[in-house]
Amino acid sequence: MSRILTNEIDLETVEKSRINDVDFDNIDFGREFTDHMFSCDFVDGEWQTPKIMPYQALTLDPSARVFHYGQAVFEGMKAFKDDQDEVWLFRPEDNFNRINISAARLAIPEFPKDYFLNGLKTLIQLDKAWVKKGDGNALYIRPFVIATEPAISAAPANEYKFMIICSPVKAYYKGRLSVLFAEKFSRSADGGVGFAKAAGNYAAQFYPTNLANKKGFQQIIWTDANTHEYLEEAGTMNIFFRINNTLVTAPTSDRILDGITRKSVIQLAKDNNIDVEIRRVSVKEIKEAAMDGSLKEIFGSGTAAVISPISAFEHAGDVFEIPDLEDSYSTFFKRKLMDIQYNKSDDQHGWRYKV
Antiparallel, parallel or unpaired: β 9-13 and 51-54: parallel
Antiparallel, parallel or unpaired: β 238-243 and 352-354: unpaired
The alpha carbon of residue 254 and the mean position of all alpha carbons in its chain are separated, in whole angstroms, by 17
Asked if residue 349 is part of any domain, the answer here is no
State which residues of the chain have pLDDT below 50.
1-6
Asked if residue 354 is part of any domain, the answer here is no
Same domain, 157 and 244: no
Do 249 and 241 contact (CB within 8 A), yes or no?
A: yes
Question: Of 150, 169, 188, which residue constitutes the final position of a domain?
Answer: 169
Same domain, 246 and 329: yes
Do 216 and 183 contact (CB within 8 A), yes or no?
A: no
Tell me, what CATH number does 237's domain have?
3.20.10.10
- Residue 3's pLDDT is 43
Domain of 98, in residue numbers: 2-169
| One-letter amino acid for residue 117 of the chain | L
Please state the pTM of the whole predicted model: 0.94
Do 123 and 167 contact (CB within 8 A), yes or no?
A: no
- Residue 5's pLDDT is 42
Q: How many CB atoms lie within 10 A of CB 283?
A: 21
Do 193 and 106 contact (CB within 8 A), yes or no?
A: yes
- Residue 235's pLDDT is 78
Nearest Cα to Cα of residue 158 among 69, 50, 95: 69
| One-letter amino acid for residue 354 of the chain | K
Alpha-carbon gap, residue 149 to 200, rounded angstroms: 19
Alpha-carbon gap, residue 85 to 146, rounded angstroms: 34
Given CA atoms 13, 14, 15, 18 in this order, what sign does their dihedral have?
negative
Same domain, 15 and 138: yes
Q: How many CA atoms lie within 13 A of 130 on its CB side?
A: 26
Do 225 and 185 contact (CB within 8 A), yes or no?
A: no
Same domain, 33 and 106: yes
Same domain, 46 and 69: yes
- Residue 4's pLDDT is 42
Same domain, 6 and 80: yes
Asked if residue 355 is part of any domain, the answer here is no
Same domain, 192 and 59: no
Asked if residue 353 is part of any domain, the answer here is no
Same domain, 185 and 218: yes
Asked if residue 346 is part of any domain, the answer here is no
Do 172 and 304 contact (CB within 8 A), yes or no?
A: yes
Tell me, what CATH number does 110's domain have?
3.30.470.10
Same domain, 115 and 242: no
- How far from each other are the two terminal CA atoms of the chain, in whole angstroms? 24
Residue 110 carries which DSSP code?
Answer: P
Same domain, 323 and 211: yes
Nearest Cα to Cα of residue 163 among 269, 258, 74: 74
Name the CA radius of gyration of the chain, rounded. 21
Same domain, 283 and 222: yes
- Residue 175's pLDDT is 74
Q: Which residues contact 278 (CB under 8 A, 6 or more apart)?
A: 248, 249, 250, 251, 266
Asked if residue 320 is part of any domain, the answer here is yes
- Residue 7's pLDDT is 56
Same domain, 272 and 296: yes
Average pLDDT, the chain: 95
Asked if residue 344 is part of any domain, the answer here is no
Do 166 and 130 contact (CB within 8 A), yes or no?
A: yes
Question: Total domain count for the chain?
Answer: 2
Asked if residue 247 is part of any domain, the answer here is yes
